Amino acid sequence: MKKLMVAGMLLLLAGCSVTRQAEVSTADTTSGVVKLNYGQAMMQNAHYDDYVTNGTATRECQSMGYATASSYGQPIKTCTLVSGSVCLNESVTIQYKCLGYAVNPAAAQTYY
């Protein structure tokens, strides 16, 4: 019976880990910083895929004229819903720094 309870608890806890898709929240062209956000509920162990998140940030950086993106700093967790003294929902922000200058091959070449 004890083995059955342990197996049941493991299955219950395994369902709490969720992969989230981070979306662009802010993009600053001047400083070259892109911030991505995703939400995390109270009993969830949410995480993000580094490869997909880096691709999203790189695409946003390229739309601003930069070549690529590199993550910096640690994820910032901010409580978005409080009930009493318990945080029910968190917003996680991931920051990326845009690097390099993107050369646009489609631009008309003018020689003088």
Please identify which residue in the block is written with the tokens 């109270």.
Answer: 42
* pLDDT reported for residue 31: 92
Who contacts 26 (Cβ-Cβ below 8 Å, separation ≥6)?
A: 33, 34, 35
Q: What residues of the chain score a pLDDT lower than 70?
A: 1, 3-16, 104-112
Model-level pTM greater than 0.85?
no
Which 8-state DSSP code applies to residue 42?
Answer: T
Give the C-alpha distances (Å, rounded to integers) separating 51 from 2, 6, 69.
40, 34, 11
Q: What is the pLDDT of residues 82-111, one digit of tens each?
A: 999 999 999 999 999 999 987 765 555 556
Give the C-alpha distances (Å, rounded to integers) separating 95 from 18, 21, 29, 77, 100.
20, 14, 14, 12, 17
